[in-house]
Amino acid sequence: MITNTELEYKGNLFPAQIIDHKKEVDKITFYTRNNVALQISFLRDSVLRFRYAVEQDFEPDFSYAISEDATYGYNHLEIKENDDHFAMKTSKLEVKVSKKDLRLAILDLEGNILNEDELGFHWEESYEFGGNIVKMSKFSQESESFYGMGDKPSQLNLRGKRVHNWATDQYAFGKDHNPLYKAVPFYIGMHHSIGYGIFFDNTFKTHFDFCHERRNITSFWADGGEMNYYFIYGPTMPEVVGGYTDLTGKPELPPLWVLGFHQCKWSYYPESKVKEIANKFRDLKIPCDAIYLDIDYMEGFRCFTWNKEYFPDPKRMVSELAEDGFKTVAIIDPGIKIDKNYWVYNEAVENDYFCKRADGPYMKGKVWPGECNFPDFTNPKVREWWAGLYKELIADIGIKGVWNDMNEPAVMEVPGKTFPDDVRHNYDGHHCSHRKAHNVYGMQMARATHEGVKKFTFPKRPFVITRSAYSGTQRFTSSWTGDNVATWEHLWIANVQVQRMCMSGMSFTGTDIGGFAEQPSGELFARWIQLGVFHPFCRVHSSGDHGSQEPWSFDEEVTNITRKFIELRYQLLPYLYTMFYEYTEYGIPMLKSLVYYDQEDTHTHYRNDEFIFGNQILVCPILEPNSKGRRMYLPQGNWYNFWGGEITKGGKECWVEADIDKIPIFIKEGAIIPKYPVQQYVGEKEIDKLTLDIYYKLGKEESQVFEDTGDGFDYKKGRYSLRMFKLTGKEKELIIQQFKEGKYETPYEVFKINLIGLPFKVKSVQVDNVEIPLQDIILNGDTNMTIKKDFTELHIKGL
Ligand code: MIG
């Protein structure tokens, strides 16, 4: 907690005793003798909102983070006044507010303290900026752990750390550096295996201290605005993260090709170079769906223009690439070159769309094009205009995705590397300075980009990727983690960052595979690809000034390893797409850190490296050079080694072999993993069968497969296919039942079944009570057969 700032005149101020309260339908407001108001809103039985106002009314209620589709409604609310406190109960929680000092305690209905104020709400007046520094401090419960917080490059459990949120272009950042590119003021607290979340929806610079300054205290504060936070009860982490993602929103499904492999570099130009790279992928048979154009495709870095020397006919090039299965993605930055002969600049000036300094002139700063002005994306009119600018790029030229960079916003050659504090923003009518708008600038740019790309890509699905983000940005765009470095430490960072983003509502994230700055060794590149294919977004990118970083830039062994792992990703596309569906539908993180997967097992609370890809595939990257394997923790349950098929009982650490062509991958027993054939790009082949790898289990397990056309919006009208498989294994039997939902007919007619780990010899196979002659089934080591896709029950009996 900051207590001795230079701004401090009076020190911390505190609420006095409660003298009044007012009840509304889903809210109660308390007033103290010194004019502090605390408003508690009961959004759901398990989701509460707390707002504090000092000396004056609450600010108009406005948030960029909260989704219009958030769920509201509670079943029960009971409010009681006691001698020294008020007590409010929902069907899941109880909140007590002390009459003496407004301090809170939040309990479950068994009386366990979930979260309790220490000093509680207090504030410091900021004479320099006006307004207050608003603060909160809470007791940390015994062995409490802390997770979440977006892109922080630190161990997953943040206990002992202090972190800050102020979107920053942090080239070649390092472990534990912060702030970085994204501002996600949301954390998950967990103690006694009970989880809850706190989302501090404040866009000023925010700070969180997790038992760093004081051993048993957690605090958070902001350099302005309101103390305004949401409390999301679990008790399980899936409920906490699901609740947070429900509040801040879920994305729509991306087109399936976006889940393929992407190749990028700063920069591929001219056209012949782009073609050469694309052709090489096809020659070497390394699957790839997307190729990127970084800033050099533009004319003098002017957004929405083309360098005609390098790219004389972009439309032709893009369509030729498309014939070969490549989707072209182009970068767009926020800085607009000050140039009276440039239509984008002129339109912005005519309509007064640029951000202004406090005294009136436009905000001027140097970025790639030289001196620029910057659109105020917090103005809805500017967003509409910006969306419209994509017409030519998307509708005419055929660009399939847009990459928004530098939107922290980043400015060169100035202290702080961003806009000065006095810059003015519209903030959707709630005019403010950059202190308040900074953290949402990138989000609002990506939002406007998403609107435009969506409009002009329709009836297909849009693709947008952003570097900067605030909570809720996942509704509009995917993201990457910015300018990392080709070092082993950064491979570790990549792993924790993507897991952390997944826990913070933003699953659709990846890292620059191989590292942006500097040059990876072939070994490091291979190890990074092996992790990267298990990230929701999978792209190789590099700065280009340290040599090439294509899969063939090292040696043949690395090329072969890269191909093998990218092929695995393409085989797993139906599995990956199903994970994405579960994310869009229920807010379930696509990667599950072990603590998320099994919070009851305290061994998981400090694990960083292992994670579950989807629901049933356990992955652990190799993070050190010259490894032949590593020690890792296998969570509870039995796990099949993906490479060898042998089973290991979890709940312990073990040594797993993983020479350079492998990383530890395990499949949960009972899982049914759907696979497509390897394709060079999504849609290359008509899928004529779905392979189901069925991992025997003595007991039950459920799996599902979501499919649709892989593009367009028909899935929203029910044209999808969701298959749920229930597996029941007995000593000499295996039964698989299928339940189907949705109106989409998959193009294939059959499943190819691979049975793995059957502990018995097959005596008979029945499909919907009809016996299949055994000679029709190829029985070799692993039983392997083809059956019609619409079966309801597959029954395998053993000898
Ligand atoms: O100041 O567009 O993070 O991915 O290649 C560098 C050039 C600007 C930073 C991005 C990086 C991109 C690069 N950009």
Please write the tens of the pLDDT for every residue from 683-725: 999 999 999 999 999 999 999 999 999 999 999 999 999 999 9
232 near 211, Cβ under 8 Å?
no
Give CA–CA dist 443/445, Å, rounded: 5
For residue 265, the ligand 1 atom closest to its alpha carbon is 5
**pLDDT, position 9:** 58
**Nearest alpha carbon, ligand 1 atom 6:** 406
* pLDDT value for 777: 66
Enter the tokens of residue 499.
Answer: 């897991």
Whole-number Å distance, alpha carbon 266 to ligand 1 midpoint, is 7
Q: In ligand 1, which atom is closest to the CA atom of 267?
A: 5
Give the separation between CA 371 and CA 367, rounded to whole angstroms. Answer: 7
What is the number of the ligand 1 atom nearest to the C-alpha of 482? 3
Token look-up 């307004």 returns 131
Mean pLDDT, residues 136-144 taken together = 95
What are the tens digits of pLDDT across the range 305-350? 999 999 999 999 999 999 999 999 999 999 999 999 999 999 999 9
Q: Virtual CA dihedral for 444, 445, 451, 456, nearest 10 degrees?
A: 180
> Which of 125, 246, 405, 707 is flagged as catalytic?
405
User: How many angstroms does the Cα of residue 790 sit away from the middle of ligand 1?
Assistant: 49
Specify whether 483 is catalytic: yes
Cα angle 474, 514, 265 (rounded to 5 degrees) comes to 75
Considering the chain, what percentage of its residues have pLDDT values greater than 70? 98
Cα 651 off chain centre by:
28
Residue 780 in this model has a pLDDT that exceeds 50 = no
Per-residue pLDDT, averaged over 519-547, amounts to: 96
For the cut 60, the answer to whether the pLDDT of residue 193 exceeds it is yes
Whether the pLDDT of residue 94 is over 60: the answer is yes
Q: Under the phi-then-psi rule, with left for phi > 0, alpha for psi from -120 to 50, and beta for the rest, what region is 711?
A: beta
pLDDT, residue 546, reads 81
Single-letter amino acid, residue 112: N
d(CA 141, CA 40): 23
Distance 301 CA to ligand 1 centre (A): 12
Residue 482 CB less than 6 A away from ligand 1 = yes
What's the pLDDT score for residue 64? Answer: 98
List helix spans (H) across 467-519: 488-503
**Ligand 1 binding pocket includes 294 (Cβ within 6 Å):** yes
Q: Check pocket membership of 693 for ligand 1, CB cut-off 6 A.
A: no
Is the shortest distance between the CB of 592 and ligand 1 below 6 Å?
no
Ligand 1 geometric centre to CA of 223 (Å) = 29
Residue 266 CB less than 6 A away from ligand 1: yes
Is residue 295 lining ligand 1, measured as CB closer than 6 Å? yes
Q: How many residues does the chain have?
A: 799
Contact partners, residue 130, CB within 8 Å, separation at least 6:
none
Measured between alpha carbons, how far is 201 from 228 in angstroms, rounded to an integer?
6
Q: Give the DSSP per-residue string, 561-578.
A: HHHHHHHHHHHTHHHHHH
Give pLDDT, residue 783: 56
Centre of ligand 1 from the C-alpha of residue 168, in Å:
13
**Active-site residue 320, yes or no?**
no
- How far are the Cα atoms of 47, 666, 756, 760 from residue 642, in angstroms, in the given order? 40, 5, 10, 20
Q: Looking at the DSSP assignment, which residues form a beta bridge with residue 195?
A: 190
Helix and strand counts by DSSP (H, E) for the chain: 11, 52
* CA of 405 relative to ligand 1 center, distance in Å: 7
- Measuring CA to CA, how many Å separate 735 from each of 9, 696, 759? 73, 10, 14
**What does the pLDDT average to over 456-460?**
98
Atom of ligand 1 nearest to the CA of 467: 3
3-class state of residue 759 by DSSP: coil
Q: What percent of the chain has pLDDT over 90?
A: 95
CA 112/CA 91 separation, integer angstroms: 15
Does 127 score more than 90 pLDDT? no
Band of residue 10 on the pLDDT scale cut at 50, 70, 90: confident
Annotated catalytic residue within 483, 512, 523, 567:
483
- Residue 469 and residue 405: Cα distance in Å, rounded? 11
Encode pLDDT of 588-645 as tens digits: 999 999 999 999 999 999 999 999 999 999 999 999 999 999 999 999 999 999 999 9
405 lines ligand 1 (CB under 6 A): yes
Mind listing the pLDDT tens digit for each residue in 480-501? 999 999 999 999 999 999 999 9
- The response to whether residue 483 sits with its C-beta less than 6 Å from ligand 1 reads yes
Cα of 464 from ligand 1 centre, angstroms: 16
**Which atom number of ligand 1 is nearest to the Cα of residue 543?**
5
Of 125, 294, 408, 610, the catalytic one is 408
Closest residue (by CA) to atom 13 of ligand 1?
266
Q: Which atom of ligand 1 is nearest to the CA of 331?
A: 2
State yes or no: is 405 an active-site residue.
yes
Tell me, using a 6 A CB cutoff, whether residue 171 lines ligand 1: no
Q: Among the atoms of ligand 1, which is closest to the Cα of residue 266?
A: 5
Residue 67, classed as helix, strand or coil, is coil
Span from the CA of 495 to the centroid of ligand 1 (angstroms)? 21
- Edge-to-edge strands, sheet with 336-337: 336-337, 370-373, 365-367
The pLDDT value given to residue 772: 87
Ligand 1 binding pocket includes 467 (Cβ within 6 Å): yes
Q: Whose CA is nearest to atom 8 of ligand 1?
A: 406
Question: Is the per-residue pLDDT at 75 higher than 50?
Answer: yes
Q: How confident is the model at residue 776 (pLDDT cuts 50, 70, 90)?
A: low
413-440: pLDDT as tens digits:
998 999 999 999 999 999 999 999 999 9
Residue 516 Cα to ligand 1 midpoint, Å, equals: 9
Can you give the pLDDT at residue 4? 55
Which ligand 1 atom sits closest to the C-alpha of 295? Answer: 2
List, for residues 261-299, the tens digit of each pLDDT value: 999 999 999 999 999 999 999 999 999 999 999 999 999
Using CA positions, which residue lies closest to atom 5 of ligand 1?
A: 266
Are 669 and 640 in contact, with CB atoms under 8 Å apart?
Answer: yes
Residue 678's Cα: distance from chain center in Å? 26
pLDDT band at 5 (very low <50, low <70, confident <90, very high): low
Quick check: helix, strand or coil at residue 277? helix
Q: Taking all residues of the chain, what is their mean pLDDT, rounded to a whole number?
A: 96
Q: pTM of this prediction? A: 0.97
